[in-house]
């Protein structure tokens, strides 16, 4: 059984054999892009291969993203079997699908056989079921079963991200037998750092690091030097949870097991780095009310992903406007209120966003739970009140001097304290409530926190003004 620790998807770019491919800003340089474009336009296969054949998969991925659609397809066509399909794991989904959809399934099947299983699954998982089945049907039986098993696991699970190739031996083998096996078997991967120990039913018993193999005498049994794999990852575990296991226990690789504790694959640190980056990007986009959007998406696709939460925001904006409408008579009498209203709402919104960002991140990393929630809520309430006092003093003095009315300064100061306190409370309570009801707080929190701070800010400021001035 084979395994590999070879880097996939993302990671630091190695020193290129052609250092001119990147400009000072880290993007593909214009001269290199022009040379590749000219080779494509001239259908000069030899020149094109000369320019791109030595590129790392991540570099080729960057090049594909820099080219126009027609140029990408022409590049893949000209390179033919020399095109490195692993570069498709480095590009946006839209670009990857655009290239794959242009190729016959027989060619994709041929290319998939040359890839590590996790790369193959990464490319196949976004295809239509019909195309998946046709491609898998063109693969050797063993390879087909491996990929089908990985594709049957839920999306964004450890089973989808694992490599189904690994090195495993029985516990009764000696160190000498294991070394001979590694030297003589031509099908073993080029690089691996850990050997897994299994029983006849493939149940995971333990693991042995290569340094232990090198230090042990040839007659020692593998079972005597193996260590238990305390952090085996269930194949159905969410990939973000699996990444957290790597982070907490400083793992470089981990066995992936099925519901019967049988070894079905491995996760390596390069796969986990990809997961961490992907999840961080998703959280950032969701906090902005954006779905699974990519730079290569078309206008209609991008618009459709942003519209839903903009509609929700529109509804909450009308709610805030209706609060202002309750005090239209007051605003007509005291025009300065219209000038100062945005300050109260804006400061509250920013304060709420700060608390919300910290809360959503703490929920995502499991640092915030039922045991410390009360303490964190009290802390944020204290921060909100203290910051409210500080900025209330500043804005109160400025407003009083600006409009030559100390009463107006006092009113906006009181409203500022109220709104910043409420903003801090809303910034932590709303994500907690959403998380409690299994609603992603990264997606929904911003709209509701903004609505609360706008409504409370306007109501507090205008309500206090109406009461104090008796308008």
Mean pLDDT of 222-235: 91
Mean pLDDT of 445-458: 92
CATH 3.10.580.10 in the chain, residues?
Answer: 168-268
Q: Is the pLDDT of residue 335 over 50?
A: yes
Tokens for 192, please give them.
């691996």
Q: Is the pLDDT of residue 112 over 80?
A: yes
Which is more confidently placed, 371 or 418?
418
Helix residue ranges, H only, 18-115:
30-41, 45-52, 57-66, 69-79, 93-101, 105-112
Beta bridge partner(s), residue 263? 257
Nearest to 5 by CA among 281, 276, 273, 280: 273
**Fold exhibited by the domain 168-268:** CBS-domain (3.10.580)
pLDDT range class, residue 296, cuts 50, 70, 90? low
Interior CA angle at 132 toward 127 and 134, to 5°? 135
**Rounded Cα distance, 166 and 257, in Å:** 12
**Rounded Cα distance, 332 and 249, in Å:** 63
What pLDDT sits at residue 289? 63
Beta bridge partner(s), residue 163? 266
Interior CA angle at 440 toward 279 and 242, to 5°? 40
What pLDDT sits at residue 8? 42
- For residue 64, CA distances in Å to 14, 127, 273 come to 18, 19, 22
- Domain 19-150: what homologous superfamily? MgtE N-terminal domain-like (1.25.60.10)
- What percent of the chain shows pLDDT beyond 70? 93
H helices, E strands: number in the chain: 21, 6
Tokens for 319, please give them.
């709610």
Give the mean pLDDT of the chain.
88
Check residue 329 and report its DSSP letter: H
Mean pLDDT lowest among 7-11, 226-230, 414-418: 7-11
Q: Is the pLDDT of residue 284 over 80?
A: no
Which is more confidently placed, 11 or 216?
216
- CB-neighbour burial class of residue 47 (10 A; exposed 0-12, middle 13-18, buried 19+): middle
Location of structure tokens 């003095």: 397
- CB-neighbour burial class of residue 358 (10 A; exposed 0-12, middle 13-18, buried 19+): middle
What pLDDT sits at residue 50? 92
CATH 1.10.357.20 in the chain, residues?
Answer: 299-469
CATH 1.25.60.10 in the chain, residues?
Answer: 19-150
pLDDT tens readout for residues 90-110: 998 889 999 999 999 999 999
What pLDDT sits at residue 287? 65
Taking a C-beta distance cutoff of 8 angstroms, is the pair 66, 105 a contact? no
276-297 burial, b if ≥16 CB within 10 A, otherwise e? bebbeebbebbbebebebeebb
**Rounded Cα distance, 450 and 447, in Å:** 5
Q: Is the pLDDT of residue 15 over 60?
A: no
pLDDT range class, residue 19, cuts 50, 70, 90? low
Q: Is the pLDDT of residue 68 over 60?
A: yes
Tokens for 338, please give them.
């219209």
Mean pLDDT of 155-183: 94
pLDDT tens readout for residues 396-405: 999 999 999 9
pLDDT tens readout for residues 135-157: 999 999 989 999 999 999 999 99
Which is more confidently placed, 27 or 414?
414
Report the Cα–Cα distance between both ends of the chain, in Å, rounded: 83
Q: Measured on CA atoms in the order 178, 183, 184, 187, is the torsion positive or negative? A: positive
**Rounded Cα distance, 372 and 363, in Å:** 12
CATH 1.20.58.220 fits 299-469, yes or no: no
User: pTM, whole model, 2 decimals?
Assistant: 0.70
Q: What are phi and psi of 189, to 5 degrees?
A: -70, 165
Helix (H) or strand (E) holding 140: none
Q: Is the pLDDT of residue 117 over 80?
A: yes
**Rounded Cα distance, 119 and 342, in Å:** 51
Tokens for 462, please give them.
């205008």
């Amino acid at each position: 059984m084979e395994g590999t620790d070879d880097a996939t998807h993302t990671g630091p770019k190695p020193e290129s054999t052609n250092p001119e491919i990147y400009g000072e800003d880290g993007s593909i340089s214009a001269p290199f892009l022009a040379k590749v474009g000219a080779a494509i336009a001239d259908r000069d296969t030899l020149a094109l291969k000369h320019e791109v054949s030595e590129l790392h998969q991540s570099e080729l991925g960057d090049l594909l993203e820099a080219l126009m659609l027609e140029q990408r397809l022409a590049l893949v066509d000209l390179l033919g079997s020399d095109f490195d399909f692993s570069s498709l794991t480095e590009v946006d989904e839209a670009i990857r699908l655009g290239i794959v959809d242009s190729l016959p399934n027989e060619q994709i099947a041929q290319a998939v056989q040359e890839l590590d299983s996790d790369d193959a699954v990464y490319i196949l998982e976004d295809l239509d079921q019909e195309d998946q089945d046709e491609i898998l049907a063109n693969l050797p039986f063993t390879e087909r079963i491996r990929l089908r098993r990985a594709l049957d696991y839920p999306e964004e699970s450890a089973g989808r991200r694992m490599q189904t190739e690994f090195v495993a031996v029985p516990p009764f083998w000696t160190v000498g037998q294991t070394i001979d096996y590694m030297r003589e078997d031509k099908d073993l991967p080029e690089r691996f750092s850990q050997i897994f120990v299994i029983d006849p039913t493939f149940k995971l018993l333990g693991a042995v690091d290569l340094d232990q193999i090198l230090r042990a005498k040839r007659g020692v049994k593998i079972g005597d030097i193996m260590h238990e794999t305390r952090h085996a990852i269930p194949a159905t575990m969410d990939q973000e949870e699996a990444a957290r296991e790597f982070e907490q226990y400083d793992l470089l690789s981990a066995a992936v097991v099925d519901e019967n504790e049988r070894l079905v694959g491995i996760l390596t640190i390069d796969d986990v780095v990809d997961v961490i980056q992907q999840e961080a990007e998703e959280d950032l986009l969701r906090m902005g009310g954006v779905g699974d959007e990519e730079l290569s998406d078309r206008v209609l696709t991008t618009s459709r992903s942003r519209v839903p939460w903009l509609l929700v925001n529109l509804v909450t904006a009308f709610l805030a406007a209706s609060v202002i409408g309750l005090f239209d008579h007051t605003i007509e009498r005291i025009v300065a209120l219209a000038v100062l209203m945005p300050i109260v709402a804006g400061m509250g919104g920013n304060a709420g966003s700060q608390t919300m960002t910290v809360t959503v991140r703490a929920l995502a990393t499991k640092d915030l739970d039922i045991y410390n929630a009360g303490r964190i809520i009290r802390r944020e309430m204290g921060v909100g009140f203290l910051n409210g006092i500080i900025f209330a003093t500043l804005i109160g003095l400025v407003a009083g001097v600006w409009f030559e009315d100390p009463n107006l300064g006092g009113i906006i100061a009181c409203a500022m304290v109220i709104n910043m306190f409420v903003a801090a409370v809303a910034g932590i309570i709303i994500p907690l409530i959403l998380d409690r009801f299994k609603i992603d707080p990264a997606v929904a929190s911003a709209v509701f926190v903004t609505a609360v701070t706008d409504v409370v800010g306007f109501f507090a400021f205008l309500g206090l003004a109406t009461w104090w001035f008796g308008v």
